[in-house]
Amino acid sequence: MSNPLEQFKIKTLIPLELAGFDISFTNSSLFMMLAVLFVCLLFVLALRKPAVIPSRIQSTGEVLFEFISNLLKEFVGSEGRRYFPLIFTTFMFVLLCNLLGMLPYSFTVTSHIVVTFALGMSIFLIVNIIAFARNGFAFFGFFLPSGVPLIMAPMMIFIEVFTYLARPFSLSVRLAANMMAGHVLLKVLAGFVVMMGLVSGWVPIPIISLMIGFEVFVAVLQAYIFTILICVYLSDAVNMH
The pLDDT tens digits for 130-164 are 888 888 877 777 777 777 777 877 888 888 888 88
The answer to whether residue 223 is domain-embedded is: yes
Most confident among 77-81, 106-110, 181-185 (mean pLDDT): 106-110
What type of residue sits at position 66? E
pLDDT of residue 68: 92
The answer to whether residue 139 is domain-embedded is: yes
The answer to whether residue 129 is domain-embedded is: yes
Is pLDDT of 44 > 70?
yes
The Cα 29–Cα 97 span in angstroms is 11
Provide the whole-model pTM: 0.87
Count of domains observed in the chain: 1
The answer to whether residue 14 is domain-embedded is: yes
The answer to whether residue 1 is domain-embedded is: no
Is pLDDT of 9 > 80?
yes
Q: Answer whether 71's CB lies under 8 Å from 228's CB.
A: yes
- Residue 18 in 3-state DSSP? strand
Using CA atoms in the order 38, 86, 69, 37, what is the torsion angle rounded to 10 degrees?
Answer: -10
The answer to whether residue 138 is domain-embedded is: yes
Lowest mean pLDDT among 90-94, 121-125, 164-168, 225-229: 164-168
The answer to whether residue 216 is domain-embedded is: yes
Cβ of 161: how many Cβ atoms within 10 Å? 14
> Which domain does 224 fall in, by range?
6-239
The Cα 141–Cα 104 span in angstroms is 50
Angstrom distances, CA of residue 46 to CA of 68, 89, 120: 17, 16, 29
Q: What percentage of the chain carries pLDDT values higher than 70?
A: 93
Q: Answer whether 10's CB lies under 8 Å from 28's CB.
A: yes
The answer to whether residue 119 is domain-embedded is: yes
